[in-house]
Amino acid sequence: MVTQPASPLPASLPGFDARHSRVAVIEGRGVDAGVSRTWHHVDTADELAKLGARQLGTILAVHGNPTWSYLWRHVVAATLRQAEETGEGWRVVAVDQLEMGWSERTDAHRPLAQRVADLAAFADAVVPEGPVVTLGHDWGGVVSLGWAVDHRERLAGVALLNTAIHHPEGVPIPAVLRLAGSRAALASATVRTTAFLDTTLALASPALPRDVRDAYRSPYRTAARRGGIGAFVADIPADAGHESRPELQRIAAGVAELDVPALMLWGPKDPVFSDRYLDDLVRRMPHADVHRFEGAGHLVAEDRPCADALLTWLGDRLPDGGIGSDGRSRLPEDAARPEDAAPSEGAPTPATPHVPLWAPLDARREDDDIAVVELSGHATRRVSWRQLDERVRAIAAGLHAIGVRRGDRVSVLVPPGATLTAVVYACLRIGAVVVVADAGLGVKGLSRAVRGAWPAFLIGERKGLAAARALGWPGQRISAVALAPAARRALGVSHTLGEIAALGRDAELPEAPDPADRAAILFTSGSTGPAKGAVYSHAQLSALRDALAAHFEVGPDTGLVTGFAPFALLGPALGTRSVTPDMDVSAPRTLTAQAVAAAVRESDARIVFLSPAAILNVVATADALASADRKALADVRTFLSTGAPIGRALLESAGDLMPEAVAHTPYGMTECLLVTDTTLDGIRVAAAAPDGGVCVGRPIGEGRVRISALDPAGRATGEPGEEPGVLGEILISAPHLKSAYDRLWLTDRAAAREVPQDGRRWHRTGDVGHLDADGRLWVEGRLPHVIVTADGPVAPVATEQQIETVAAVRRAAVVGIGPEGDRRAVAVVETRPAARRPGLASPDLTAAVRAAAELPLAAVLVVPALPTDIRHNSKIDRTRLSEWAERTLAGGKAIRP
């Protein structure tokens, strides 16, 4: 091999350091046997040597079609920066594949097997020894995995950006590839013109700067230099008879046997390599760390900070290069992924054996008492314990009969009620993973959630099935209701629940899942960013049930009315009858006081569980209650509201409707549905305390809360502790804390926190607050909403509460304007009566607000309505308000925030 600096490249290649550019002349293999080929590549080995940095291993980076090694310039820069700062780092060797980039144009036929042989020849010459992490994108991902499968003795890990190694039979390849690869269009779209190249570059989100686009185009200026682009497209093994199909199948099979650390960084907006291909890769490498960058597309390396993510992952998983004393790659013991750990790892060891959620159904299968009541319009559906158990068993066995297996994801698009209850418990019983996303996310948010989870099966009623069909949601479709043949064909339904239950009637159930197995993926509300899927194991769901049962003393005769979707399914698990009131659970404000009273009467319930948004309308419709309704509500003994902190006045109004009930307002989130709890009496006592914020009480059961103090820059860097009065990020731990975020490795890593000498798993909530001297937690806002003033960080909620004591103010939000580190606080208020247009407050109102607030305010602004008015102030979009306030005070056009 002869290696030398590359001949001069174009002068303008932004972000690309030509000093690392090399040319190697290497003897080929396969079709190139006995022939030397010229390879252009990037190599940082010399620069590492100049820095005196210890080399941890080599990242062998392989681009796809129609890019070149320029794609990896951010990885090159990041690794060298790390080496300079730490004295050690990874060598990067980024190759231009033959016929591509600045490597030789050979005009030889290069199907996939030849491409893999090409890379092997190159790597043997340029990277002859030491641990290697492969990094590939697009078809470079397939080629790099081919090398990985064939060189396991040197493989330390694999990293992938949007790629694919398998395409299911009977599914057309993506439209853009069908068009480009058609015989009529292939040469024109890929070689004679730059259409395919231009289309690929246009997929970046946000759009690439012109000089970056020009850099990508630079090796492909003429048709003679674009032959490789057309050849790559022609080599897509779109059908079983394609010559590259056997090699692709060989690689796919080999990938499933790789046990090294793996990373997948994905752009879900990719029109070519969709989440379908990510799901296939995850099935083959279930141990992989996966992060989907919401909003990113095919050129995810350009769209998002993939280089930083790669280095973070290498530091976590391969801190020493990943080669053991025997010379083989291995996953370090200290790099175990949290979602693969036992679900109770780091939490107190349960005092009793695991009891699955369906245990009460087993225990009461001969019981004809009512288990579930569904109220809808003028119809009432009652299901006994015997009927529920029979239905769950039949559906479970039937699902198994049609191919649903342990670990398969099942998206459930059925409203709360008897059918949803039976479906969920059936899935849990056979170990399928239930995917639940609230319809309140809207079509766009729901579509993002379902596509992100990529379920194998989808169970829905007509409305959900229609959305699945129209929007192309993944999963074999199962109808929860009977359908006419024409509707069934139109919706693409393979089975109905009735047919599935018939298949499973009297059939044997498969072995029950283990406590550590995944049970559910519950999507967050999306109120603080794109909805995230929180992964729960069976043990964690059982721990949630146990915490709820113990803290609120739920027993077989308690009865439970719930208009809060996450808890609508827990009645059977608690062994008590449960009722879903007449409402649209995706629109909590459809719940009326009369509907709650009817549900209480029907179930003789002693516990009512509602969301804050539902309570607003229940209180607003209380005047319509008849005497029988009020009598029924007077029998309620426990009233709960969770989902967001709730104000004292609203809780008191709800308490007036249920005068004998103890009113509770637990603090929780989708990641840990019960964290702390307080009562109305507790709130009244706390009102006399000097603390600011919303008091949400003390931890429930085995749960724990700690505070990571904010530093002067407003970052939560303090050692987690329980010292009173310290403002910081709220950290929580409980046996029922979620395992992980689904396919959001970076997000999960940022949220996880290990506390020294503690042994528990902790979660960073993103909320800020403090503990008081009595151990009560006070929530004071969200971490991104902290205002970093010249005097230090300030949370907004306490000041907002002070402002809301002004008679003319209905609600308030406090936001920051100005440069970082020297922000000034601004109050944005809704008034009584509502302002007609946004703008500066009147002098009188400004004076009153400033007098009420202890925090100095740079200005007071009024708006007709704050951006959200369904939930508590903690859900107000303060970031949006801050941007609007800054524009307004700078003299910008007074538009609505």
Structural domain contains residue 310: yes
CA distance linking residue 515 with residue 428, whole number of Å: 11
Give which of 124, 126, 119 is closest to 96, Cα–Cα: 119
pLDDT: which is higher, 450 or 568: 450
Contact (CB, 8 A) for 409 and 450: no
Look at residue 527 and tell me whether its pLDDT is greater than 80: no
Band of the pLDDT at 567, cuts 50, 70, 90? confident
CATH number of the CATH domain containing 822: 3.30.300.30
Both 304 and 407 in one domain: the answer is: no
Helix (H) or strand (E) segment spanning residue 763: strand 761-771
Into how many domains does the chain fold? 4
**CB burial of residue 25 (10 Å; 0-12, 13-18, 19+):** middle
Determine the pLDDT at residue 361. Answer: 95
Determine the pLDDT at residue 168. Answer: 74
Structural domain contains residue 346: no
Determine the pLDDT at residue 1. Answer: 65
Both 727 and 791 in one domain: the answer is: no
Look at residue 440 and tell me whether its pLDDT is greater than 90: no
User: What's the pLDDT tens digit per position in 8-58?
Assistant: 688 789 999 999 999 999 999 999 999 999 999 999 999 999 999 999 999
Determine the pLDDT at residue 237. Answer: 87
Determine the pLDDT at residue 757. Answer: 63
Determine the pLDDT at residue 872. Answer: 37
Both 767 and 817 in one domain: the answer is: no
Domain boundary among the residues 514, 533, 557 is at 514
pLDDT: which is higher, 494 or 563: 494
Average pLDDT over residues 130-152: 97
Average pLDDT over residues 81-100: 97
Q: What is the pTM of this model?
A: 0.91
**CB burial of residue 430 (10 Å; 0-12, 13-18, 19+):** buried
Q: What is the token pair recorded at 216?
A: 């990508």
Q: Which positions ≥6 away from 473 have C-beta within 8 Å?
A: 411, 447, 450, 451, 458, 467
| 99, amino acid identity | E
Structural domain contains residue 96: yes
Domain boundary among the residues 496, 514, 532 is at 514
User: What's the pLDDT tens digit per position in 614-658?
Assistant: 888 899 999 999 999 999 999 999 998 876 667 788 888 888 999
CA distance linking residue 610 with residue 595, whole number of Å: 12
Structural domain contains residue 685: no
Both 754 and 824 in one domain: the answer is: no
Look at residue 368 and tell me whether its pLDDT is greater than 90: yes
Look at residue 203 and tell me whether its pLDDT is greater than 50: yes
Beta bridge partners of residue 263, listed in sequence order: 159, 289
Determine the pLDDT at residue 611. Answer: 81
Q: β-pairing, 638-641 with 607-610?
A: parallel
Both 31 and 105 in one domain: the answer is: yes
Both 791 and 770 in one domain: the answer is: no
Look at residue 430 and tell me whether its pLDDT is greater than 50: yes
Structural domain that includes position 816: 786-889
Structural domain contains residue 895: no
User: What's the pLDDT tens digit per position in 853-867?
Assistant: 999 999 999 999 887
Q: How far is CA 681 from CA 116, 637, 650, 700, in A?
A: 70, 15, 14, 17
Band of the pLDDT at 343, cuts 50, 70, 90? very low
Structural domain contains residue 300: yes
What percentage of the chain has pLDDT greater than the value 90? 75
Determine the pLDDT at residue 667. Answer: 92
Beta bridge partners of residue 695, listed in sequence order: 778
Three-class secondary structure assignment of 112-145: HHHHHHHHHHHHHHHCCCCCEEEEECCHHHHHHH
Determine the pLDDT at residue 6. Answer: 62
Structural domain contains residue 765: yes
Both 752 and 797 in one domain: the answer is: no
CA distance linking residue 6 with residue 489, whole number of Å: 60
Average pLDDT over residues 868-891: 74
Beta bridge partners of residue 376, listed in sequence order: 379
Q: Give helix then strand counts, H and E, for the chain.
A: 31, 38
Both 433 and 463 in one domain: the answer is: yes
Q: What is the token pair recorded at 177?
A: 């590839």
Domain boundary among the residues 514, 543, 573 is at 514
Determine the pLDDT at residue 551. Answer: 94
CA distance linking residue 689 with residue 725, whole number of Å: 12
CATH number of the CATH domain containing 106: 3.40.50.1820
Contact (CB, 8 A) for 287 and 331: yes
Q: How far is CA 746 from CA 63, 135, 242, 743, in A?
A: 23, 18, 38, 9
Determine the pLDDT at residue 334. Answer: 39
Question: Is the peptide bond preceding residue 455 cis, with omega within 30 degrees of 0?
Answer: no
Average pLDDT over residues 408-424: 93
CATH number of the CATH domain containing 750: 2.30.38.10
Look at residue 801 and tell me whether its pLDDT is greater than 60: yes
Phi, psi values for residue 679, rounded to 5°: -110, 170
Both 822 and 745 in one domain: the answer is: no
What percentage of the chain has pLDDT greater than the value 70? 91
Torsion of CA 523, 524, 530, 533, to 10 degrees: -40
Look at residue 132 and tell me whether its pLDDT is greater than 90: yes
Structural domain contains residue 179: no
Q: Which region among 418-427, 506-515, 564-573 has the lowest average model confidence (pLDDT)?
A: 564-573
Both 317 and 363 in one domain: the answer is: no
Both 33 and 93 in one domain: the answer is: yes
Determine the pLDDT at residue 508. Answer: 94
Average pLDDT of the chain to the nearest whole number? 90
User: What's the pLDDT tens digit per position in 826-850?
Assistant: 999 999 999 999 999 999 999 999 9
Contact (CB, 8 A) for 131 and 321: yes
Both 763 and 871 in one domain: the answer is: no
User: What's the pLDDT tens digit per position in 282-339?
Assistant: 999 999 999 999 999 999 999 999 999 999 999 999 998 865 545 454 444 434 444 4
Determine the pLDDT at residue 376. Answer: 82
Average pLDDT over residues 57-81: 98
Determine the pLDDT at residue 176. Answer: 63
Band of the pLDDT at 871, cuts 50, 70, 90? very low
